[in-house]
Amino acid sequence: MNIQYKKGVIELCILSALNKADMYGYELSTYISKEIDISDGTVYPILRKLKSDGFVTTFLSEVSGGPPRKYYSITENGKQRFKQEAKEWLDFTKTVSNMIGGKSNE
Amino acid sequence: MNKQEFMQVLKKELEQNNVADIDEILSDFAEHFEYKLEEGKTEEDVVRKIGNPVDIAKDYSLQAKSNKSDKNPVAIIGLIFLDLFTFPIFLSMWLSTLVLGVFGVALISLGIMMILTLNIYEIIPSMPYITSLLLGISMLGLSISTFIGTFYTFRYVGQWQKAYGRWHKNLLHKNIYPSLSMHPKFSKRLSSTLKLANMLGIVSFVATFTIGYIVSAILANSFEFWHVWEWFI
């Protein structure tokens, strides 16, 4: 699949993951690249963009016997954004799948 | 390509693309390497899966550009007025830091002079050597805490200025960069070392100062020994 195409969707996937629980960068990277075929490093620029836009925040959490982990947490704005984007995505994919598959059977 | 080569290329590319907060970005990737290596992967494996550093740097610079918008004239005028207020505030904070540092230097000099009885310019009044020694040590103790205080003040004022600068920049260019924390980062080891040193400084100051006072009061046979030794005449 086209790389630019995937990047747009990954933003939504990250928001969705963070909507369930706080995660640290590496955890998000493995979570996303396990499901979607994409380079491990791709999520970091996207995380930073989400932070600049105010959709996520970060905090450091101490871990026993290791450096502190940088956790990402979704903000209220981020939750709003996720709701809206998720709905748009679902509507859009429904339309597209109707166009390319579903309706052609009729 | 190994980890070091990857990090070097990434750093160079980020610099060429004028991306902000390069250190933070690099530490995110260093963290990524740490976790992967812990899982038993080789550096080459991790680099292969992480993607091309040139493309990654481009992703960072593209998002900064896509957020850029026209400057807001009202914001500019407002900021000019605000800066007229904040400039003297920051200046006075920096000067206070300097004063604190100079105070520390004065304390340490006084302490050394008292311990070694180097009475330069006759600024130290007469007293028995035991008083001079104890109070000298107490001055050294206080100077340690003063220097640590100076260091923290320096780092905090620096961080505040950076955070203000970032906020300033973001207002002008509509949130290109993430805002910065108000708290400077200290490594765990540094901050625990400083805390310990600070405690030792304060404890040694209080202890030697108190003992010095008691010993002097006994020697002079007066609670106000400074009058007996005619310090202020």
For residue B124, pLDDT over 90 is answered with no
pLDDT at A105 over 80: no
Per-residue pLDDT, averaged over B113-128, amounts to 83
Cα dist from B48 to A30, A48, B52, whole Å: 14, 22, 8
Which among A41, A69, A53 is positioned nearest to A15, based on CA atoms?
A: A53
Sign of CA dihedral B181, B183, B184, B190: negative
> Tell me, what's the ipTM?
0.82
Best-predicted range by mean pLDDT (B26-30, B61-65, B149-153): B149-153
**Disruptive mutation site among A32, A44, A47, A51 for chain B (greatest number of B CBs within 10 Å):** A44
Chain A residues in contact with B31 (beta carbon < 8 A):
25-26, 67, 69-70
- In the predicted structure, residue B66 carries a pLDDT above the cut 60: no
- Name the residue type at position A56: V
Q: Summarize pLDDT for A79-94 with one digit per residue, the tens.
A: 999 999 899 989 988 8
Burial class of residue B40, CB neighbours in 10 A (0-12, 13-18, 19+): exposed
According to DSSP, the β-strands at A56-61 and A23-24 are unpaired
Residue A104 has pLDDT above 70, yes or no: no
Distance CA B53, CA B59 (A): 10
Q: Which amino acid is at B219?
A: L
Instruction: Give residue-wise pLDDT tens across range B78-118.
Output: 888 888 989 999 999 999 999 999 999 999 999 999 998 88
Distance CA A90, CA B106 (A): 70
Give the pLDDT confidence of B208-227 residue by residue, as tens digits.
999 999 999 898 888 888 88
Residues of B with CB under 8 A from a CB of A: 25, 28-29, 31-32, 34-36, 46, 49-53, 56, 59-60, 63, 67, 175-178, 188
Phi, psi of A57 (to 5 degrees): -125, 165
**Beta-carbon separation of B29 and A41 below 8 A:** yes
Number of domains in chain A: 1
Of A45-59, B12-26, B71-85, B90-104, the poorest mean pLDDT is in B71-85
| pLDDT tens for each residue of B197-206 | 999 999 999 9
Residue with the bigger pLDDT between A43 and A67: it is A43
**Cβ pair A52:B59 closer than 8 A:** no
pLDDT in the model for residue B67:
53
Res. A65: pLDDT tops 80: no
Token pair for B16: 């060429």
Q: What predicted TM-score, i.e. pTM, was given to this entire model?
A: 0.57
Q: What is the CATH number of the domain that holds A73?
A: 1.10.10.10
d(CA B179, CA B186): 19
Q: Do B29 and A39 touch (CB under 8 A)?
A: no
Owning domain of residue A43 = 3-105
Q: Which residues of A touch B176 (CB under 8 A)?
A: 52
Is it the case that residue A16 has pLDDT exceeding 90?
A: yes
